Structure 1
Amino acid sequence: MAERPTTSWREGIGREAEQLAAGTLDPDCACMADLYPDELLVATDTVLDAFDADVAGLDSAEDVNVFAVVERVVLALNAVDDIHCGYETDEREALCDYIDTTLTEHGVDVVALTARHGLGRYELTDTWRNW
């Protein structure tokens, strides 16, 4: 099952907090909690909850239906990023990978889907993505 990016972000915050508490990390080097404030994590998880439900509810893997689900999640993530300015390169890649992997796990052939529309596999979200 695809691991949500927010899971690894929370784990990083926890590891950093442990290192700070143990005195093995200079507080000036601590950045995880600033990079991933709770509001960003909660908002991102809310969007991914809706995406997961949409993908599970796909009654067919018709291209138009799959693209509609991708468009909704990307636009919702755009809104989260507009508010929190939280998605940098690594985060963007993790979110795109989560979308791709989740679709694949639900039987969508992402390579074939994107190829039918003249896109590369990793261009699936590009039409709508601002982050």
Structure 2
Amino acid sequence: MAERPTTSWREGIAREAEQLAAGTLDPGCACMADLYPDELLVATDTVLDSFDEEVAGLDGAEDVQVFAAVERVVLALNAVDDIHCGYETDEREALCDYIDKALTENGIDVVALAARHGLGRYELTDKWRDW
């Protein structure tokens, strides 16, 4: 199963907290908890929970249904980013990669889907993505 970006973000927060507790990290260099506040993590996971549920039933779906699911997840992530301003370049790439992998793991040939619509594989989210 594709690893959610929020999982690695939480792991980074935990690693940094351990380093701070051990005294191996200067507190002035600690940034993970500020970059990924709990509200952002919870909101992102809520959106991805809905997306995961939806894509679980997409195997064999028409392209329009797949694109509708992608549109919904992207618009919901736009709303999260509007509130929390949490998605920078690395986060954007991780979220797009997660969407691609979740679709692939649920039987969607992302390369073929994109090609049928004149898109590159990593352009599925571009039409709706603000982050």
TM-score (norm 1): 0.98
Cα distance in 2 between the residues matched to 1:57 and 1:3: 19
What secondary structure sits across from 1:127 in the alignment?
coil
Cα distance in 1 between the residues matched to 2:3 and 2:37: 19
One-letter code of the match for 1:57?
Answer: G
1:25 partnered with 2:25: yes
Counterpart of 1:83?
83
| Structure 2 gaps, min length 5 | none
Deviations for 1:35-85, whole angstroms, at most 9, x for unmatched residues?
000000000000000000110122632100000000000000000000000
Identity of aligned residues (%): 89
Counterpart of 2:37?
37
Cα distance in 2 between the residues matched to 1:107 and 1:59: 5
Counterpart of 1:52?
52
What secondary structure sits across from 1:24 in the alignment?
coil
Counterpart of 2:128?
128
Aligned residues, how many?
131
TM-score (norm 2): 0.98
Pairwise CA RMSD of aligned residues? 0.8
4+ long deviations beyond 6 Å: none
